[in-house]
């Protein structure tokens, strides 16, 4: 029980100190989980990260589940995960509650119109950053462009693309077109 | 009932969104298009808040969408929906970690999934461009091509691109700085 609470609190701390998630979280995890708590080694952490990237979902959550499980079994995994999402729940509910009340003020509307422009640029930058690791060859490029175009013009669920592309990845590898 | 629906929608998102926080974005657009719980413009605002507050972006966005849809219970349920499949998957994989990482089918599937994720996020980005850089409503009324663009917004986007990608002193800055600056510019130039 003590251990579960410990996991919950340690990961709540990681959640509070993370801005942006993903790789932004790595230095904070290293300090809290590797140096302070000794729940994992640096190498293990990198392994969890690698698995987090090749499993669905938010990497921060995957890593928390991993460390929690390794430290205190199934319940540990759950406690660590609840810990990492807990600060988000509190902070976002507070902000969302406040913003809902101010959303109709003209200055707030203007501010968010400006912010939306910034969001475009942030998404563009995220795509450029992901591109380097995700599109290593022509076959992957083809897949990426096909998904982009079809997703813009067709009203299909992203799930369809995900399932299709996993199959295409296996097919391309088998056919040997990968890496060209 | 809406809570059950929220849980299911976010369960699917958690199960199929591959590649970290931003990868949930296309799923959130899909949910908005099918249910009408929130608009594209609202979702863009949620992204900005999620980037500017502590916590993983994917979790923040789920919480925000849940809150917008059904208040605090909605926030809790959406977040739990998102993490449930992840917990299940990791608890299974943790038992077979070494063989999972070396499995050639897993590797091949992810070779296909990574470009898929990039394509989906880019397509979701197009929707944000539509609500922030274009002005299709006015274009529909006047029919003039120049009216289809929101020039003030495009100028700001160009400036932001330069500072986030080219200028060495500023490109490493946290997104929150650019989000706040954009808010101020939005107010000053009444966007």
Instruction: Give the pLDDT band of residue A127 (cuts 50, 70, 90).
Output: confident
* Cβ contact, residue pair A169, B90, below 8 Å: no
What's the mean pLDDT in B23-50? 90
* Interface test mutation site (partner B, options A120, A164, A179, max chain B beta carbons within 10 A): A120
Across residues A6-13, what is the average pLDDT?
94
Q: Are B117 and A53 in contact (CB under 8 A)?
A: no
What ipTM goes with this model?
Answer: 0.84
Chain B stretch 2-31, residues whose beta carbon is closer than 8 A to a beta carbon of chain A: 12, 14-22, 24-27, 30
- Model confidence at B21: pLDDT above 80: no
pLDDT at B48: 87
**What's the pLDDT band for B15 if we cut at 50, 70, 90?**
very high
Mean pLDDT for A1-16 is: 92
Residues 80-99 of B with CB under 8 A from A: 82-83, 85-87, 89-91, 93-94, 97
Chain A positions in Cβ-Cβ contact with residue B125 (cut-off 8 Å)? 120, 123-124, 127
Q: Encode pLDDT of A46-102 as tens digits.
A: 888 777 777 888 888 888 999 999 999 999 999 999 999 999 999 999 999 998 888
Per-domain residue ranges of chain B: 2-132, 139-188
Measuring CA to CA, which residue among B88, B10, B187 is closest to residue A66? B88
The torsion angles phi and psi of B128, rounded to 5 degrees, stand at -70, -40
DSSP E strand boundaries for chain B: 55-56
Does residue A169 register a pLDDT over 90? yes
Size of interface A-B (CB pairs under 8 A): 371
Beta carbons within 8 Å of A158's beta carbon, 6+ residues apart: A151, B16, B17, B26, B27, B30, B120
pLDDT range class, residue A45, cuts 50, 70, 90: confident
Q: How far apart are CA B74 and CA B69, in angstroms?
A: 6
* DSSP letters spanning chain A: -HHHHHHHHHHHHHHHH-EESGGGGHHHHIIIIIIIS-SS-HHHHHHHHHHHHTSBS-HHHHHHHHHHHHHHHHHHHHHHHHHHHHHHHHHHHHHHHHHHHHTTSHHHHHHHHHHHHHHHHHHHHHHHHHHHHH--SHHHHHHHHHHHHHHHHS---HHHHHHHHHHHHHHHHHHT-TT-
Chain A residues lying within 8 Å of B31, measured CB to CB? none
A176 touching B, CB under 8 A? Answer: no
pLDDT(B158) > 90: yes
In eight-state DSSP terms, residue A19 is E
Q: Is B67 on the interface with A (CB under 8 A)?
A: yes
Residue A21 in this model has a pLDDT that exceeds 80: no
pLDDT in tens, B44-74: 889 888 888 888 888 999 999 999 999 999 9
């Amino acid at each position: 029980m003590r251990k579960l609470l410990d996991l919950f609190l340690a990961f709540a701390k990681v959640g509070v100190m993370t801005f942006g998630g993903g790789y932004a979280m790595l230095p904070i995890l290293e300090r809290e989980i590797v140096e302070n708590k000794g729940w994992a080694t640096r190498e293990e952490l990198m392994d969890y990260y690698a698995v987090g990237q090749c499993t669905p979902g938010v990497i921060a959550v995957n890593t928390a589940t991993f460390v929690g499980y390794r430290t205190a079994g199934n319940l540990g995994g759950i406690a660590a995960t609840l810990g990492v999402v807990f600060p988000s729940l509190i902070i976002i509910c507070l902000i969302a509650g406040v913003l809902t009340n101010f959303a109709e003020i003209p200055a707030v509307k203007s501010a968010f119109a400006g912010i939306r422009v910034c969001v475009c640029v942030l998404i563009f930058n995220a795509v450029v950053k992901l591109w380097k690791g995700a599109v290593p060859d022509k076959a992957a490029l083809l897949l990426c462009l096909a998904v982009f175009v079809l997703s813009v013009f067709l009203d299909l669920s992203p799930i369809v693309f995900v399932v299709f592309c996993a199959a295409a990845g296996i097919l391309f590898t088998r056919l040997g077109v990968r890496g060209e | 009932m809406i809570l059950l629906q929220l849980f299911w929608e976010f369960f699917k998102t958690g199960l199929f969104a591959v590649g970290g926080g931003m990868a949930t974005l296309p799923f959130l657009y899909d949910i908005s298009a099918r249910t009408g719980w929130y608009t594209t413009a609202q979702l863009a605002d949620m992204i900005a808040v999620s980037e500017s507050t502590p916590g993983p972006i994917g979790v923040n966005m789920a919480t925000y969408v849940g809150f917008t849809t059904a208040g605090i219970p909605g926030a809790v349920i959406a977040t739990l929906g998102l993490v449930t499949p992840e917990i299940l998957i990791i608890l299974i994989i943790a038992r077979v970690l070494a063989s999972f990482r070396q499995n050639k089918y897993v590797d091949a599937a992810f070779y296909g999934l990574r470009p898929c994720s990039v394509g989906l996020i880019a397509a979701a980005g197009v929707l944000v461009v539509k609500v922030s850089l274009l002005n299709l409503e006015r274009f529909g009324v006047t029919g003039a091509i120049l009216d289809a663009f929101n020039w003030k917004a495009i100028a700001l986007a160009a400036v932001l691109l330069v500072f986030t990608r080219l200028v060495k002193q500023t490109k490493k800055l946290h997104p929150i700085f650019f989000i706040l600056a954009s808010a101020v510019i939005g107010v000053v130039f009444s966007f």
